[in-house]
Structure formats: C-alpha cells, structure tokens
A and B are shown apart, each in its own frame.
Chain A
Amino acid sequence: MDQDPPQQLRQQTILAQFGELALESDDLDEILTEACRLVGEAIGTDFAKVVQLQPDGKTLLVRAGVGWKDGVIGVKTIKASDDTSEGYALKTGEPMISPDIDKETRFRYADFLIDNGAKAVANVIIIGGRDRPPFGILQVDSRVRREFSEEDIAFLRTYANLLAATVDRLRVLDEIRDASTRLRLALEAGDLGSFEMDVESGRTTGSDRYDSIFGIASSDGDWTWDALQEQVVKDDQARIADAMRSALTDGGELRVEFRIKRADVSELRWIELRGRLDDKMGGPARLVGIAADISDRKLAEQALVATNETLEAQVSDRTISLAESNAQLDAFAYTVSHDLRAPLRAMEGFARILQEDYAADLGEEGNHYATRIVGAAKRMEGLIDDLLAFSRVQRVDVAMKWTDPARAIRNAITELRAAGFDESTVSVEVAPSFPPVRADRTILAQVIGNLVLNAAKFKAPDRSAHIVIRAERRAERVRIWVEDNGIGIAPEHQARIFNVFERLHGQETYPGTGVGLAIVKSGVERMGGAYGVEADLDVGSRFWIELEAAEDGERKGVS
C-alpha cells in the first residue's frame, strides 16, 4: 500500500511528542486524553477513546477520549465479550479493524458509538505490566468508511505499546507512593523515627522524628554513629557498641535499648534502636532501621517492677504475720481451753463440796446459791467449748474428700443421745441413704451435729420433738435437710440466727451460747457450700445445707 512520506513523518513526530508528554506528566487522565487527541492527528481520524478493563475482567469503561458527545467519557461501558470488536481485540491481542460498521457481521457495536457517528473503527490492545491483565483498548474512530493501512496499524501498535509502558510506569509510581505513604503513616502512628546509616563511614540520615528523638537539629550530613554514641550514658555504651558489632558481623540484626542525654531535655531518655543490615544492592553496605523513644514504657516497666516487688514483700510480710497470728491464735485457744477452764472447774468443784459436805450449815438459800455457782460454771464451760469449736472451724485446714453424710448423721444422733435427748422426747427419722458429697469430714460432722442439736433443742412445749433428716440432689449439688416440728422462727429473725452469739430466747427457756448456727454457717462457707432455713412460727424449722455432689469415681480411702 502506498504511503506518502508526509504522513509517515507526521506519525514519527506524533510519537516523539507523545513520548515527551509521557515522560513529563504523572497524570494518567491527561496522558490518555492527549494520546487520543494525537492519534487522530497521526492517522487522520475524527475521534478516539481509551477503554479500560475493569477489575471484574468483563467490563470496559470509556476512560478517556476526544470528539465524543457528553455522557460517554467515564460513563459508557462495553462488554469485553467475543461479539464486540473491543472484547475480541482484548482476548486475541491482535488489532481489530472494521472499515465499515454498517457491513460488519462479526461484531456488534455499542449504540453510543453509532450514535456518535462512527463508521469505521480500529482497536489495538494496551497491554498491562508484567504478569498483569491488559490495561484496555485504544480505539480510533472515523465518521466516514475507510481502510487502515498496514503502516497505520503498525503505527497504532507502536503507539499503544508506548501508551502501555507509560500507564504501567504510572501504576508502579502509584504503588511506590502508596507503599511509602503507608510506611510513613505506620512510622508516625508508632511514633518511630527511621534512619539509614552508611556502615563504612557511620554517616546517618534520619527522618524528622529520628532527629527529634535524639534532640538534634538535623541528621542530614555530618551526623555519625560516633556522635550518637557520645550521647549515650556511660553505663550503656558498651551494650550499644556490642549490639552494633554483632549486627554488622553476624546475623545483621540490630536490636538495642539504651539511655541518652539529650541537649534539649534534662532527664535521660530511653531509646530503642532496631535495624537490618542491607548489603544486597551491590552498593555500599548500610544499616536501615527505626528508632523509638521508649522512656514512658521503661518508666511504666520500672514502676511495675517496683510495684511487684512491693506487693511481693507485702504478701510475704502478711503471710509471715498471718502465720504468726495463726500460731498466736492456736496458743490463745490452748490457753483458753486449759487455763481458763481450770479455775472454772475449781469453782464448780468447791461449790459441789459445799453442797455435799456443808449442806446443813448453808441452809436452803445457801444451797440455792451453791447450785447457781455450779450452773454458772457449767454454762461458762459450754461457752468456752463452743467458742473453741467456732474458732477451730474458722481456722482449721479444710481437706475436701468424698464423704458419705450418713456417717456424720449417725455421729450427730449419738451425740444428741449423749447430751440427754432420749428417744421418748426426741425422735429422729433418717433417710435410708444419702448422695455422697465433697466435704471436710470433721467440719461436716460439726455442722450436722449442731443442726441436729439445734433441731432437738427448740422443741415446742406441747408436743414431743420429731426430726427428719433427708437429702436431695440438685444438679451438681446435694442439699441436706434437717427438719423439726419445733417452735419455728419468725420471718424477721430468720436472717440473723446464723450470726455468732445471736440468741432469740432467754436462758431459762432455751439455754445456749448462740454459737451453734454460727459454726454451721462458718463450716459450710469454708467447704464452699450454702446454707439456709425455711421456718414457720409454731410449726417448725427446716434447715438446709448444700454441698458439691461427689461422684463414686472419687471414692478413695473411705473407711
């Protein structure tokens, strides 16, 4: 095909012009639009456009163009399918030419194309970067039917490739900018300074934050590793020198914390440096990394260490004083049980001698008082016993084991009978069996003993006492009931009765120390259980305790 020299020359000129623009501009839309304008000049067509393949891989958007009516650029899309010339060009990578759209049988053309008066079109692919999908298609359109010469097509291909290289350069540029922005934001967010040190000379270039961390005006130029080391406090100089030496010799990783004296602030600052040796570029070896002012963290760490030490010291002090006071309490309990009891027994003994041997001399009133001395001494002895039991249940080591409550209940009934409650006044009905519980056996015996004694003691005057002891499984727990038909407890008193020394009745009617139910409460709490009472005045009380159920698998060493 003939080609007149002026057109070839024009095309060469256009290529050069576009090349210049492509190198100068960073604006993709400007470049694409100018590309569309220049290509028309080179080929002698009326209008042109660049359609860009969208991320979905199926749609082409009119990204830029010249000579189009409004509502096309940035709006119209074309399907990247085999029945469109654009889609076909994209798929094959070959130029697609339609000299006369009206006679075209291979492809359908978009309505907006026809509407804009296109009669002939040529499509060439704009390839993507390495391993990337195509950027899109450059299309030149003519309002008259026309052929495109081989030279025209060769020019379009060259032109499109130049365009592709430019687009890819911009893309890479964008990526670099984006990565650098991300890095900058991340460094800012972490309040980190970045630096780069030439290993040979020790010359260091740092970011603004790096400079401010070290309190220096600018690290460009004469800032060196030696200058940095001069800022470091004496005690830390060996450490940082060692760290740097080992970073440069083995591994290439720098990670060191040290204190510096800054020119602009009086207190020492803690600095952390982290870096990597970079000698892969073939150029001079450099150490690249970040710097952070970790003074706040160090202060917090030191405070934490100090707090921990204080706490540990306090805990150990308290443990010692607790052990001491426990030992003192033991000694106290011993004193109470022996020394306090001895004079009491003497009082009782002498009063009995009076009753025994001097009854005639004392007379009726004298004998009455001697009886009162004996009674008072007995009461005080009971109080001492209960207080000791109460103090023991609060301090004794708890050993939780598989336990059959029936055993504690049998003991409680034996104790009840020994205390003078015989079967004619107090009958006890015990369930045939009980679910096993996890309990301290000594404490459980004490708890149940007190519940049973309590139930017998508060007997109604008009009827003999009847006690029912039974249990029920409640999920993971076992509730043991001790129920009586006694005088009951008014609702307003039910919460108080578990407090130590709490008594609802005078000594004449119901003698007692007010410690029994406090032992129940304390004992059950120490075994991690619960306790309570349901009662109706003049009808009876139903006391319960609840303990963790034990499985038969736990049964070990039960005699």
Chain B
Amino acid sequence: MGTMDDQSTVLLVEDSLDDADFVRYAFRKADVRNPLVIVDDGDKAIDYLLGREGYAERQRFPLPRLILLDLKLPRRSGIEVLSVIRTTEAVRHTPVVMLTSSRMEDDIRKAYDAGANAYLVKPIGVEALVTMIRSVHDFWIAQNSAPS
C-alpha cells in the first residue's frame, strides 16, 4: 500500500450521489485505503484546492495526491476546474484523471488540452468500476511519482 501521509488524499469531484457511492464502494472493494474526499460541484472543488470558504483548515482538508474529475458539473465544468488547477502553484502538478460518462471526441481533446493526465469513461457495471479503481490506484498512487 502507498504511504499514508498528508498527500495521500484522493479528491473526487462528482455531482451524482449514485456515482459517488459507486466510487466509494469500489475504493472499499478494491481495498484502496486512501482517504476519499468528495465535492459535488466545480466551485467547491476550486474552493477546496485553494483552501477557501469552509476548506481553509489544511489539516482537515489536505491537498490531494490525486484528483478524479467529472466533466459535466454544476456551476463550473470540469474543464474550468482543470484550468484553475493547472494555474494554481500548489496543485499544478497534481495528477488529474477525468472520470466521466462522455465518450465524445471533443470532450476528450478539450480535457487533454486543459492538462488532464488521463481520461477514463465510467464503465457500465459495478464490477468493472472496481477493476478500474484498482488500476487507477496501482498506477497513479502506488507506482507514479509526482513532484511533492
């Protein structure tokens, strides 16, 4: 298992409570023990990363090791959130994995243009999601090295 330091948190930006539940379930099933923080719109994601509003306390809301980002979000789209991430010193190197239901070529290109590290389409069925979350953990948390 990866190190369990301050950097080990995973931030999930997902507006669907169902999908958030499935990801949470998949974390448990895949035995991924990193803390999972979930915010349900684009504004909250930015507030969290910038330590604004209710997220000022870094002890309680540590900067994430990995961000799982949905594309279609209320208030601010995933692409806008991504642009803010890539221009914010503290998180500009943080790996961002898009996790969305859109397969549209246009969305994929825009995500990579904005600096996404990976683009994953939400699979159909819980088992497939468990498998996917396991791979994400293995690659981005256990094996990948990111500047701290």
Query: Is the beta-carbon distance between A356 and B18 smaller than 8 angstroms?
Result: no
> A residues within 8 A CB of B126?
349, 352-353, 356
Residues 340-361 of chain A, each 1 if its beta carbon lies under 8 Å from chain B, else 0:
0011011011101100100000
Q: In the bound complex, how far is the Cα of B126 from the Cα of A346, in angstroms?
A: 9
Q: At the interface, yes or no: A338 with Cβ under 8 Å from chain B?
A: yes
Q: At the interface, yes or no: B55 with Cβ under 8 Å from chain A?
A: no
Closest B residue to A352 by beta carbon equals B126
Query: Is the beta-carbon distance between B16 and A342 smaller than 8 angstroms?
Result: yes
> A residues within 8 A CB of B18?
342-343, 346, 349-350
Closest A residue to B102 by beta carbon equals A338
Q: In the bound complex, how far is the Cα of B100 from the Cα of A338, in angstroms?
A: 11
Residue in A342, A343, A352, A353 whose CB lies within 8 Å of B101: A342
Residues of B within 8 A of A (CB): 16, 18-19, 21-22, 25, 101, 124-127, 129
Query: Is the beta-carbon distance between A346 and B22 smaller than 8 angstroms?
Result: yes
Query: Is the beta-carbon distance between A349 and B125 smaller than 8 angstroms?
Result: yes
Residues of A within 8 A of B (CB): 338, 342-343, 345-346, 348-350, 352-353, 356
> A residues within 8 A CB of B19?
342, 346
What are 23 A-to-B residue pairs whose CB atoms are below 8 Å? A338-B101, A342-B16, A342-B18, A342-B19, A342-B101, A343-B18, A345-B124, A346-B16, A346-B18, A346-B19, A346-B22, A348-B125, A349-B18, A349-B125, A349-B126, A349-B129, A350-B18, A352-B125, A352-B126, A352-B127, A353-B25, A353-B126, A356-B126
> B residues within 8 A CB of A345?
124
Query: Is the beta-carbon distance between B16 and A349 smaller than 8 angstroms?
Result: no
> B residues within 8 A CB of A350?
18, 21
Q: In the bound complex, how far is the Cα of B30 from the Cα of A156, in angstroms?
A: 142
* Residue with the highest number of chain B CB atoms closer than 10 Å, among A343, A349, A353: A349
Closest A residue to B28 by beta carbon equals A357
Least CB distance from B38 to A in Å reads: 16
Closest B residue to A355 by beta carbon equals B126
Query: Is the beta-carbon distance between B101 and A349 smaller than 8 angstroms?
Result: no
> A residues within 8 A CB of B16?
342, 346
> B residues within 8 A CB of A346?
16, 18-19, 22
Residue in A343, A349, A356 whose CB lies within 8 Å of B22: A349
> B residues within 8 A CB of A353?
25, 126
Closest A residue to B126 by beta carbon equals A349
Least CB distance from A349 to B in Å reads: 5
> B residues within 8 A CB of A349?
18, 22, 125-126, 129
Closest B residue to A347 by beta carbon equals B18
- Given A346-B16, A346-B22, A353-B126, 10 new contacts (CB under 8 A): A338-B101, A342-B19, A343-B18, A345-B124, A346-B19, A349-B18, A350-B21, A352-B125, A353-B25, A356-B126
> B residues within 8 A CB of A342?
16, 18-19, 101
> A residues within 8 A CB of B22?
346, 349
> A residues within 8 A CB of B101?
338, 342
Closest B residue to A346 by beta carbon equals B18
Least CB distance from A377 to B in Å reads: 11
Q: In the bound complex, how far is the Cα of B22 from the Cα of A506, in angstroms?
A: 34
Q: In the bound complex, how far is the Cα of B29 from the Cα of A356, in angstroms?
A: 11
> A residues within 8 A CB of B25?
353
Shortest beta-carbon contacts, A-B, top 3: A346-B18, A349-B126, A352-B126
> A residues within 8 A CB of B125?
348-349, 352
Q: In the bound complex, how far is the Cα of B19 from the Cα of A345, in angstroms?
A: 10
Q: In the bound complex, how far is the Cα of B101 from the Cα of A343, in angstroms?
A: 13
Least CB distance from A253 to B in Å reads: 67
Q: In the bound complex, how far is the Cα of B21 from the Cα of A481, in angstroms?
A: 50
Least CB distance from B94 to A in Å reads: 27
> B residues within 8 A CB of A348?
125
Q: In the bound complex, how far is the Cα of B16 from the Cα of A346, in angstroms?
A: 10
Q: In the bound complex, how far is the Cα of B18 from the Cα of A252, in angstroms?
A: 90
Q: In the bound complex, how far is the Cα of B18 from the Cα of A343, in angstroms?
A: 8
Closest B residue to A349 by beta carbon equals B126
> B residues within 8 A CB of A338?
101
> A residues within 8 A CB of B129?
349
Q: In the bound complex, how far is the Cα of B126 from the Cα of A352, in angstroms?
A: 8
Q: In the bound complex, how far is the Cα of B125 from the Cα of A346, in angstroms?
A: 9
Q: In the bound complex, how far is the Cα of B129 from the Cα of A346, in angstroms?
A: 12
Least CB distance from B22 to A in Å reads: 6
Q: In the bound complex, how far is the Cα of B121 from the Cα of A338, in angstroms?
A: 13
Least CB distance from B122 to A in Å reads: 9
Q: In the bound complex, how far is the Cα of B25 from the Cα of A395, in angstroms?
A: 41
Least CB distance from B48 to A in Å reads: 24
> A residues within 8 A CB of B127?
352
Q: In the bound complex, how far is the Cα of B126 from the Cα of A356, in angstroms?
A: 10
Q: In the bound complex, how far is the Cα of B129 from the Cα of A356, in angstroms?
A: 14
Least CB distance from B100 to A in Å reads: 11
Closest B residue to A348 by beta carbon equals B125
Q: In the bound complex, how far is the Cα of B18 from the Cα of A381, in angstroms?
A: 17
Q: In the bound complex, how far is the Cα of B126 from the Cα of A353, in angstroms?
A: 8
Least CB distance from B30 to A in Å reads: 14
Closest A residue to B22 by beta carbon equals A349
Q: In the bound complex, how far is the Cα of B14 from the Cα of A342, in angstroms?
A: 13
Q: In the bound complex, how far is the Cα of B21 from the Cα of A342, in angstroms?
A: 13
